[in-house]
Each structure stands twice: as C-alpha cells, then as structure tokens.
Structure 1
Amino acid sequence: MLVTLSGYILNYVVTSASVHDIRAVDDLLENCRQPYILADLGYLSRDLKDHLVQKGYHLWTPLRQKMEGSKQHNHWKLMAMRRTIETRFSELCSLFDIEHTLTRGLTGLQLSIEQMILAYNLRYFEIN
C-alpha cells in the first residue's frame, strides 16, 4: 500500500502470498510523484534501491538491528513516519474487516477493497 505521511491511501497492490513485496514495487509506484519512499524491512534490497534511484525515487528502509549502523540509520523520527502505513492497515482491519471480505473471485475482491479504500479516504477528508 502507498500512503502519504498524513495517512491518505494513494495506491495498493494485491498479490498472492507467495509473491515477494519487491515484485510489486513498480505497480505500486505507478504514477507516484513522491520522490521519497519510506518502506518496511520487506523492501530492504540494494538492487531495489538502485532500481528506484534510476526511476527518480529515494528509498529508505530500516536496517535490521544487528546490521552495522542500524542505530544511526533507524532514526526514531523516520521510524515514527514509517508506522503511518501500519496504522492504515490496522484501521482498514478494524473499520472494514478488510482481511475477511467474503468475496468469491478476484473481481469481487478488487471491488470490495476499492470500496473500503474509497470509504476510508472519504473519512480521511472528513477528519482532516
């Protein structure tokens, strides 16, 4: 999911569980005009970072705790900003039960997710 720091959901990609997060990055960033991307450990990859630099993006992912320089790199302010997306997932689960859509096919799943994101984003404008 691609989310602004203020919490507005810009884009999402659904893949099967066997597909690594990195494989969906190009689809996720389609038409994204934000040059700075904060991601989770699932996107920790030198090849991905180099690939995104070529496309004009600057990718930041936290380092694993045992990695050299992690204490300096994993600055608490960046980690707090990164948690924004995790909060969106939690809210989609609690407000709309997004993990249990009861759809019968991919088209129904897509429609259901898009309705939830639309309702969430409309709620976002009401609150802000």
Structure 2
Amino acid sequence: MPLFPNLPARSQFVRQASNLWRVKQLFHQHLCHQLRADTCNVHLIDGFPIELCKLTRVRKCKSFKGDANHSYCASKDMKYFGFHGHLLVDGRGIPVEFTVTAANVDERDAAYEIINNIKGLLIGDKGLIRPILNQECSQADIYLQTPLRKNMKDERPKWVVKQLMNVRRKIETTIGQLVEYFDIEHINCRDLWHLTSRMGRKILGLSIGGYLNLELGKDSMKFEGMLAG
C-alpha cells in the first residue's frame, strides 16, 4: 500500500498490540479515575461465559490445554467449555475491574480479585451468596446485597429488593454491549497472553465509549445552557 509503506504484517501488528497490554490497563485505570468510577459508592458485579469451542469439538481442541474447563451457565441454561469473565462496573455501567478464570472457578472466589479496591454498596446475583464472603465484605466496608434463594427468608422490604435488582440490570446492559459490539464471549486466540490482551482491549474500548458519551453529554448540556441564557 503506497500510503502506508511501513505497515507491518498482521501477525506482527497483533504481537505489538498484545505487548501493550500494560499500557491499556493503565489507560483504563486513568479513565476510571477521570470518571470517578473507582471511587463510586455503588458497584455491580456479574459474570459471563467465554466459550472456547463447541462441546463436540473439545477433544480435538489443542488450545489452552490445562487452562480451559467445563462449566454450566445458569442464565443461558447451557453447558460450555472455556473460561468465565468476571466484571465489576460502577452504578452507571462503566467497567472498573475485570478478570478471567477457568470456567469451573467459583465466582465467589474470583470476586476477591476485583472488589479489593472499592467501598460502599455492591450488588450481585445469587451466585455470590456465601456467609463468609458477606462477613469479609463488611470488614472491608463493602455492603454486599444479593437476591436470596427461595428457601431463604428475606427480611428486607420487597420494594428495597426490587430497587436493588433494577439497579443491577445496568451491568447486564454493559455485558450485552460487550457481547454485541466486541464479541467478548468468544475467543480468537490460542494462549493466555493474547487472551488477556484482547480482553483488556475490549474492556478499554467500552470504557472509552462511555467516557466520550459522558463528555459529549456535558458539552451538550453546556451548549443548551448557553442557548437558554
């Protein structure tokens, strides 16, 4: 291509992009600080499946040997083979922390990795129900709230639980955006190094979109105020 004489091969570009994983991580942390997502008093946590291949092809799959595993996704009512993404967002749906584990890792165990720098209200689903987790969150000034199972007595007013679940839907919207725009539930690489880089790039992409929307919204409000004045 004459306009880009030094354009590298695709494989070289992919390696260079992967090598910048730490830069992407720092950039994302900077955006969170700018948006005050890391100091927000309300956070939401949820997970989603990351499928490596169809179950019928597991025996032939040579990628991620010893890393990927089998699991079951209750929200989609499906068995799958691969990994599990764990996402933490603020009350507006801006991604704050993210990690990937093998599909069979308990999300209550993975939660410790992404909630260690937050305070205030944390809203999750039934998968986070564990007395010791509630106790440790309380000691860290984290107020964990989840819906309870049918065989558990809920002393909270129904309107409070309903409001909590309405707020929690924001993270489902965020995950839906990651799936629709970034195809985050599928893997297009063959090792953990590239997987980590790709996932970080997708989370960063959504954070940049959220940042631009919020900043454009502020500018629009300022412009409307000038017109009104």
Letter matched to residue 108 of structure 2: I
TM-score normalised to the size of structure 1? 0.90
Provide the C-alpha distance between the structure 1 equivalents of 2:186 and 2:171, rounded to a whole number of angstroms.
19
Secondary structure (helix, strand or coil) at the match of 1:91 reads helix
Bigger proportion of residues as strand: 2
Mark the structure with the bigger radius of gyration.
2
Which of residues 130, 139, 162 in structure 2 aligns to 1:76? 162
Letter matched to residue 38 of structure 1: I
How far is the alpha carbon of 1:86 from its aligned partner? Answer: 1.4
Match of 2:126?
41
Aligned residue-pair number = 127
Percent identity, aligned pairs only, is 29
Q: Is residue 2:159 matched to residue 1:85?
A: no
Secondary structure (helix, strand or coil) at the match of 1:15 reads strand
Provide the C-alpha distance between the structure 2 equivalents of 1:30 and 1:103, rounded to a whole number of angstroms.
29
Over aligned residue pairs, what C-alpha RMSD do you find? 1.7
Provide the C-alpha distance between the structure 1 equivalents of 2:137 and 2:168, rounded to a whole number of angstroms.
18
Match of 1:10?
96
Provide the C-alpha distance between the structure 2 equivalents of 1:117 and 1:70, rounded to a whole number of angstroms.
37
Which of residues 90, 106, 119 in structure 1 aligns to 2:192? 106
Residue segments in structure 1 that go unaligned for 5+ positions in a row: none
Letter matched to residue 59 of structure 1: L
Which of residues 184, 206, 211 in structure 2 aligns to 1:125? 211
How far is the alpha carbon of 1:39 from its aligned partner? Answer: 0.8
Bigger proportion of residues as helix: 1
Are the counterparts in 2 of residues 3 and 10 from structure 1 also a CA contact under 8 Å?
Answer: yes
CA deviations over 1:61-99 (Å, ceiling 9, x no partner): 111244323783562211011111111111100001011
TM-score normalised to the size of structure 2? 0.52
